Amino acid sequence: MLRTVILSGLLVVATAAGAEPPPLLKTSDAEAIASQVSGGAAKRTVEALSLNHRMRGSQGYRRAAELIRSRLENYGLAEASIMALPADGKIFYGTQRSRPAWNATFAELWEQKQDGGRWIDAERIASWKDQPITLAQDSVSGTAHAPLVDVGVGTADSDYAGKDVRGKLVLTSSQPEAVAKLAVTKYGAAGIVSWAQNQKSAWWGEDESLIRWGHLDTWKDPHSPS
């Protein structure tokens, strides 16, 4: 056992002696940083952040900010603080117009069936509480008990030909923003249900398990539940 320990020690010393010095930093500084860096701790922080839907001005964004502040304070940065800036859709910061805050507390999509001559909830399709990303960002509050009409892509008038969507929900393969002007503003739909796949890219491919982040245009009205 003693021989094994001695050989191991010699191997470590030889490896350290032959290693290239770190670029840009003194070896002592690099060693000081390495002694504090933890890949496991970084992973746990990312996991904790991922539990929050971090939309601008939302409760989830605030919780994420509080998490980072607490981490910094634990590391000894007592002066760590959160700076809040007003955002109302009018104030500019440099060349960027501030987008108004958006926060959601409840949203669900249900499939209904008839029971004894009345409609009852049969199956829950989506829930903000379970998967916040299922609600399109910048949706407005609303309730709709209505049939679902498939408009396909939904970005051309021809997609609505012969279809009465007024007061109904439209089903589209496009992003909500792409169909809102026609479906809601022009044809009077009550809301949008989107099953948009991931954008076409080098790794493009349909994935039925995918829930893509959806959104509406921040600056255009009216918006709709999506």
What is the structure's pLDDT at 226? 66
Q: Are residues 116 and 55 in the same domain?
A: no
**One domain for residues 84 and 118:** no
**Cα separation, 42 vs 178, whole angstroms:** 37
How do residues 57-111 score in pLDDT, each as one tens digit?
899 999 999 999 999 999 899 899 999 888 888 899 999 998 888 999 999 999 9
In a domain, 222, yes or no: no
Handedness of CA 165, 171, 177, 178 (dihedral sign): negative
Least confident of 27-36, 163-172, 176-185: 27-36
Per-residue pLDDT at 5 exceeds 70 = no
Q: Residue 15's pLDDT band (boundaries 50, 70, 90)?
A: very low
Residue 51 lies in a domain: yes
- Whether residue 199 lies inside any domain: the answer is no
Domain of residue 125 covers 108-194
Same domain, 41 and 12: yes
With respect to residue 211, please indicate whether it lies within any of the assigned structural domains.
no
| String of DSSP letters for 81-146 | -PPP---SSS-EETTEEPPPP---S--EEEEEEEETTEEEEEEEEEETTT-GGGSPBT--------
Is residue 90 located within the same domain as residue 162?
A: no
Instruction: Give me 46's structure tokens.
Output: 């990312």
Same-domain pairing of 63 and 83: yes
pLDDT at 46 over 80: yes
Phi-psi domain of 152 (left: phi exceeds 0; alpha: psi -120 through 50; beta: other):
left
Token pair in block for residue 53: 């839907």
Number of domain units in the chain: 2
Mean pLDDT of 11-26: 61
Q: Which of 48, 63, 97 is the last residue of a domain?
A: 97
Residue 212 falls within a domain, yes or no? Answer: no
Q: Which of 97, 131, 162 is the last residue of a domain?
A: 97
Q: How far apart are CA 86 and CA 94, in angstroms?
A: 14
Kindly state whether residues 64 and 40 are assigned to the same domain. yes
Decide if pLDDT at 134 tops 50: yes
**Mean pLDDT over residues 214-218, rounded?**
84
Q: Does one domain contain both 86 and 114?
A: no
Who wins on pLDDT, 15 or 17?
17
Looking at the fold, whether 177 and 91 belong to one and the same domain comes out as no
* pLDDT score recorded for residue 25: 86
Is there a single domain that holds both residue 14 and residue 93? Answer: yes
Q: What is the C-alpha radius of gyration for the chain, rounded to an integer number of angstroms? A: 26
What average pLDDT does the chain have? 85
Higher pLDDT, residue 113 or 211: 113
Q: Are 27 and 113 in a shared domain?
A: no
**Domain boundary, last residue among 45, 78, 97:** 97
Residue range 168-215, pLDDT digits in tens: 999 999 999 999 999 999 999 999 999 887 777 777 677 767 778 888
Residues 171, 136 share a domain:
yes
Cis peptide before 176 (omega within 30 of 0): no
d(CA 4, CA 1): 5
Residue 3 in this model has a pLDDT that exceeds 50: no
pLDDT range class, residue 220, cuts 50, 70, 90: low
Residue 218 located in a structural domain: no
Element at 28 (helix H, strand E): helix 27-34
User: Are residues 61 and 83 part of one domain?
Assistant: yes
Q: Which residues pair with 148 in a beta bridge?
A: 169
